[in-house]
């Protein structure tokens, strides 16, 4: 039997270059480093003792963001002058492995990954009391906070690179979590009251009449990324009725009984299969709720999706939501991504938590 923890570490290290993690080099579209994916891969690696790899990722992020400080300054100056922004004014959602920005039409204005990076970096600094890393990354943290503070209310692509024209509570949760983390590390970087403002915005604008938080303002469906509201970003506590209602709806609408978790009901990407990393996320929520008996079957399901050589895909297509869309994506981009480093990162994280 393959040791999936060891294999995951090996796969992740194999696709880490000078700190940057490639999302999935064998998939035509994913040969880049995303801050969102990377933060979770690093968090998982650190959880199983691979601290050098995780640290290198945070350093890569800081180096890369600092490289674009002039871009952020000119965006802020444009905003101060009241000028409209162009799509090319924003920081990208993903970088080439050497930190370059790719010139293509991939959806770019997306903020949640920046929040995830801040959150993950602070967790790492605090867990390892790594003040040297904080000193090194601090200028990039300040820059990132300035960028996010200026733009948090602007509609931008969600974590799945969809719905550019909407405001997504999961994205706001990531910014909230990132800001709170930075505040806990050092006062004075995040503008006073900003995190509370974001939270109030979500609670006054994004709670559906039925009591759950919605996928985006104006769409009362749920998305599995709403789990982030509580775990890990704590915009809502686990026992908050609004989170409980969201969780109940996620369980009912997008968890296949005995199987995995879908992104959202109307997903058509590769037909809309069950995502390993989201199934592991739901397991994490159950662990935080002290329900290990509910977490274990989800973990076992995710583990069972690994290929015989220990590769964990992005999603599995045995029970897709829209079978008519499977071929469309295969013809466009080839078979779906595997191994996906983010799936492996979440696997490592949950593996370490289930040991406790
Ligand atoms: C997902 C993103 C992810 C990227 C790389 C996209 O299909 O929507 O969340 O960052 O793949 O894994």
Whether residue 214 contacts residue 220, with contact meaning beta carbons closer than 8 Å, is answered with yes
Question: What is the model's pLDDT at position 355?
Answer: 84
Helix, strand, coil distribution of the chain in percent, nearest 5: 55, 5, 40
| The pLDDT value given to residue 103 | 79
- Residue 13 has, within 13 A of its CA and on its CB side, a CA count of 12
Q: What pLDDT, in 10s, does the model give residues 207-247?
A: 999 999 999 999 999 999 999 999 999 999 999 999 999 99
Q: What is the pLDDT of residues 94-128, one digit of tens each?
A: 999 999 998 776 768 999 999 999 999 999 999 99
Please give the average per-residue pLDDT across 328-349, as a whole number: 97
Give the residue, out of 40, 102, 159, with the most ligand 1 atoms within 8 A of its beta carbon, to mutate for a pocket test: 159
pLDDT score, position 108: 86
Please pick, among 89, 130, 161, 162, the residue that the annotation labels catalytic: 161
- Whether 314 sits among the annotated catalytic residues: the reply is yes
Statement: residue 177 has pLDDT above 90 = yes
Whose C-alpha lies nearest to ligand 1, atom 2?
160
Q: Is the minimum distance from the CB of 161 to ligand 1 under 6 angstroms?
A: yes
The pLDDT mean for the chain works out to 97
pLDDT of the residue at 124: 98
| C-alpha torsion sign, points 347, 348, 351, 356 | negative
Domain 4-252 class in CATH: mainly alpha
- How many whole angstroms separate alpha carbon 18 and alpha carbon 181? 26
Is residue 158 part of the annotated active site? The answer reads yes
User: Does residue 200 surpass a pLDDT of 90?
Assistant: yes
Q: What's residue 96's pLDDT?
A: 96
With a pLDDT cut of 70, the percent of the chain lying above it is 99
User: What share of the chain has pLDDT > 90, as a percent?
Assistant: 97
- Does the CB atom of residue 36 touch ligand 1 within 6 A? yes
Rounded to 10 deg, the angle between the 276-288 and 341-355 helix axes is 20
Question: Has residue 333 got a pLDDT over 90?
Answer: yes
Q: How far is CA 263 from CA 32, 40, 241, 250, 281, in A?
A: 22, 17, 22, 10, 11
Pocket mutation for ligand 1, best pick of 161, 225, 267, 277 (most atoms within 8 Å of C-beta): 161
Residue whose CA lies nearest to ligand 1 atom number 12 = 23
**Looking at residue 104, what is its pLDDT?**
75
Q: Are 170 and 226 in contact (CB under 8 A)?
A: yes
288 is catalytic: no
């Amino acid at each position: 039997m393959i040791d999936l923890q060891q294999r995951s570490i090996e796969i992740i290290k194999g696709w880490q270059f000078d700190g940057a993690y490639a999302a999935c080099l064998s998939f035509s579209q994913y040969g880049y480093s995303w801050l969102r994916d990377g933060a979770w891969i690093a968090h998982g690696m650190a959880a199983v003792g691979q601290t050098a790899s995780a640290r290198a990722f945070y350093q890569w992020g800081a180096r890369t963001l600092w490289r674009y400080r002039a871009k952020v300054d000119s965006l802020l100056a444009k905003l101060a002058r009241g000028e409209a922004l162009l799509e090319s004014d924003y920081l990208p959602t993903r970088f080439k492995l050497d930190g370059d920005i790719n010139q293509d039409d991939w959806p770019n204005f997306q903020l949640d990954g920046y929040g995830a990076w801040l959150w993950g970096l602070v967790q790492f600094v605090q867990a390892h009391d790594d003040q040297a890393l904080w000193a090194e990354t601090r200028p990039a943290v300040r820059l990132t906070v300035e960028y996010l503070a200026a733009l948090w209310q602007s509609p931008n692509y969600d974590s799945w690179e969809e719905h550019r024209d909407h405001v997504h509570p999961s994205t706001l949760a990531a910014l909230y979590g990132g800001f709170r983390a930075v505040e806990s590390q050092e006062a004075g970087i995040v503008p006073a009251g900003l995190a509370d403002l974001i939270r109030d915005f979500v609670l006054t604008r994004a709670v559906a009449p039925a009591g759950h938080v919605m996928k985006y303002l104006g769409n009362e469906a749920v998305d599995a990324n709403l789990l982030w509201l509580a775990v890990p970003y704590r915009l809502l506590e686990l026992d908050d009725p609004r989170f409980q209602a969201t969780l109940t709806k996620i369980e009912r609408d997008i968890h296949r009984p005995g199987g995995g978790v879908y992104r959202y009901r109307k997903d058509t990407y590769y037909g809309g299969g069950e995502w390993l990393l989201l199934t592991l996320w739901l397991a994490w929520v159950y662990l935080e709720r002290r329900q290990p008996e509910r977490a274990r079957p989800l973990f076992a399901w995710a583990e069972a999706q690994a290929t015989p050589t220990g590769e964990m895909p992005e999603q599995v297509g045995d029970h897709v939501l829209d079978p008519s869309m499977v071929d469309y994506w295969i013809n466009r981009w080839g078979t779906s991504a595997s191994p996906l480093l983010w799936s492996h990162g979440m696997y490592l994280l949950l593996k370490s938590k289930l040991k406790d």
